[in-house]
Structure 1
C-alpha cells in the first residue's frame, strides 16, 4: 500500500493572519496524525506575506507535543544560512524529546530574496560562496549527528548535545538532480520537489539510487516525491477550488504572492496569454480531482518514480479545503 505524507507551508489566505495560519498547520498535523499519514513536514520561508513558516525547528516542537505517533520534520532547513553544528544540536534536541519521530530535511534554496538572505547570513556575506560550501556543510552536519568527526578534523573533539542514541532521519530536498547527487554521496534520503519542478524528477531519483553510497544513516537508498494536491467530493468541485492554487503558483513565479485568494476572486484575475500558458504548464506539478481520480494519479506518479511513499502539499483557500483533501485521501487509501 502506498504511504502518504504531508508538507505544509503554513499558507496565509487573504483575510487571515500569520498566527491563524500557524494554528491551521497545528490542526492539520493533528488531523494527519489521527488519519494515519506517515510524516508531516513544515517549510522554511522568510520575509513572505503569504507563507508564515520561518522557523521549522520551533514549530516542530509544538507539533510534536500535540501529536502522538506521526513522524515530524523540516521540509526543509535552509542549511547555507546556518551553522551545521547548531542545526545538528537543534535536531538532536528534538530527537531527545521525541525519539524516533524526527526527520531533518535540508535544502540549499535561499527561501526568500537575495536581500533577505543577506539579512539571515549578515550584510557582508557572500551568497554564492554559501552555496559552494553546501556539500561541506552537509558532511559536517552528518558528522555531528553521528558522532563521527574524525581525528585531525578541524572540529575534532566537538560533539553535538544533547547526547542521544537515536539519529533523526536525514533527507536532502531538491527540485533538480544536483540535490540527488549530494544525497547519494552522503548516504542521506532524497525527496524530489515535483511541486516545484514537474519535469526531470524521475531521472533525478534514478540517478540518486544508482550512485547511492551506504552510510551510518542509510544502508539502502530511500526516496519520496512531493506534489500539490487538491481533492474534493467531485472533479468539478475540485477544479473550482483549484483556481486559488493555480493563481497562487503563478503569483509565486511572478513575485506577486501576498496570500491565497478565494476561488471566486482567483477566477476574476486578469490573466494574460502568458499567464494562462503558465497555469496550464503548472498543472504538471498538481493533481486535482475527486478521491478516485486523485488516488489513480498518485499511484501513477508513485509508479513513475518507483517510490512507496508520496508527500502532498494540500492546496486551497479555506483551511477546510486542505483538511477535506487529506480526509478524502486517507479514506481512499485506507490509511487509518
Structure 2
C-alpha cells in the first residue's frame, strides 16, 4: 500500500497577500487530511520573498491545531543554523501538544540567501552536521553518552512519545548519514538530482538503531494532475515560468501570466531541460509515473509537491492523485 503525503513550500502567488497564502496552507492541510494523506510537512526558507515559511515550528503548531489526524512536521528544519538542544525542546513541546502527530525532518541546506545565512549564524561557528544529528537523537531519546559534553541535560518538557525523526537529502552523502544514524530517510527528487545511488547507500549501509530497526525511505516529487493532460500542462505553466524566470516574475505567476509570457530562446531551452523534473498529466499518466518512481526507489511513501497557482485546481490535483493511487491498493 502506497502512502501519500504533502510537502508545502508556501509559495507567494501573483495577486495574493501573505495572510491569504497562510490561510490556503491551513485549508490544504485540512483538505488533504480528509483525503487520507499521511503527513503534511512545512519547508524552511530564509530571506527569499517568494516563500512564506521562515519558521516551520510556528506553522506546525497552527496546522496541527486545525487538523486532528494527519501527521504534521518539518520538511525540514535546517539544523546547522541552530542548537540541536533548542530544536529538541521545540519539537518536544509540539509533541506534548499533539502526541503521536509530530514529525521532525532535518536537513543541512542553508535554506536561504547568503545574507540570511550570515545573519542566522552571526558570531557563531557552524556545527558539524553528523554530531548535531547524534546530539538531537540523544536529547529526544534521553540517551546522551555519559561522556557527552552536556551529559545529564534533559530537553524540556518531558513527554512520553517522541517526534518521528527523518533525515532529508538530495545526495548520496545524506543517504549514508541517514544509514549511519539509523533514521528514516526522505529523498528530494523534486530538486532534480537522481536519487537511486543515495537510496542504495541508505539501504545497504543502514545500521539498526533505537529509532528504526530497518530502513524506512520516502521520496518527494513534483506532481501536477488534472482531468486532462492539456489542462495539467496549462496549470504547470505557472511553475515552469517560476523556475525559468523567477527573478523576473517574482511570485508564482497566474496561469494567464505564464501562458502569455514572452520567453526568450535561451529561456525556452532551459525550460525544456527542466521538464523531466515534474510529473504532469491526467490521473492515469500521473499514476504510472509515481509507481515507476516507487519501483525505482523501493519505497512505500511518496510526498507530493503540487505548485499550482489556482487553489481550487491545486486541491483538485491532490484529490485526483489520492483517488487514482487508491485504485492501486
Give the match for residue 175 of structure 1.
170
Contact persistence 2:245–2:267 (CA under 8 A) = no
The answer for the alignment partner of 2:251 in structure 1 is 259
1:224-243 deviation digits (Å, cap 9, x = unpaired): 00011111111000011110
Contact kept, 8 Å, 2:48 with 2:113, in 1: the verdict is no
Secondary structure of the 1:47 match is coil
Alignment correspondent of 1:143: 138
Moved more, 174-183 or 236-245: 174-183
Q: Distance in 1 between matches of 2:79 and 2:56?
A: 12
SS in structure 2 at match of 1:73: strand
- Counterpart-to-counterpart distance in 1, 2:113 and 2:245: 15
- From 225, 235, 242, the equivalent of 1:231 is 225
Is residue 309 from structure 1 mapped to residue 301 from structure 2 by the alignment?
yes
Work out the CA distance in 2 between the residues paired with 1:22 and 1:171. 24
Question: 1-side partners of 2:291 and 2:249: how far apart?
Answer: 31
Look up the match of 1:166. 161
Query: How far is 1:278 from its partner?
Result: 2.3
Among 265, 289, 293, the alignment partner of 2:285 is 293
Separation in 2, partners of 1:153, 1:330: 46
Residue equivalent to 2:58? 58
Secondary structure of 2:191 counterpart:
coil
Deviation at 1:256, TM superposition (A): 5.2
**For 1:230, what is the secondary structure of its paired residue?**
strand
**Comparing 199-208 and 237-246, the one that deviates more:** 199-208
After TM superposition, the structure 1 stretch with the greater mean CA deviation from structure 2, 25-34 or 165-174, is: 165-174
Task: Work out whether residues 49 and 257 of structure 1, in 8 Å CA contact, stay in contact via their aligned partners in 2.
Answer: no
Aligned to 2:93: 93
Query: 1:130-158: per-residue Cα shift (whole Å, max 9, x none)?
Result: 2x611111111111011011112101110
Equivalent residue of 2:309, what SS? coil
1:212 pairs, out of 206, 210, 216, with 206
Q: Distance in 1 between matches of 2:39 and 2:248?
A: 31
Taking the aligned partners of 1:170 and 1:264, their CA distance within structure 2 comes to 41
Q: How does 1:35-114 map to 2 (within 5 A)?
A: 35-114=35-114
Residue by residue, what CA displacement relative to the aligned partner does 1:186-228 show, whole Å, maximum 9, x if unpaired? 111111101112x330111011000111111111111000011
Question: Do structure 1's residue 244 and structure 2's residue 272 form an aligned pair?
Answer: no
More displaced 10-residue stretch of structure 1: 266-275 or 177-186: 266-275
Is 1:15 equivalent to 2:18 in the alignment? no
Following superposition, the deviation at residue 98 of structure 1 comes to: 1.1
Residue 131 of structure 2 aligns to a residue whose secondary structure is: helix
Deviation at 1:257, TM superposition (A): 6.3
Which of residues 149, 152, 166 in structure 2 aligns to 1:154?
149
How many residues were matched structurally?
328
Deviations 1:39-69 (A, max 9, x none): 1101111122211011111111111111111
- Segments of structure 1 that go 5 or more residues without pairing to the other structure are none
Shift of 1:272: 3.0
| Alignment counterpart, residue 264 of structure 2, candidates 256, 260, 272 | 272
Shift >4 Å, 4+ stretches? none
How large is the Cα RMSD of the aligned pairs?
1.6
Contact 1:50 1:257 (C-alpha < 8 Å) held by counterparts: no
**Which has the higher mean CA deviation after the structures are superposed, 267-276 or 242-251?**
267-276
Aligned to 2:320: 328
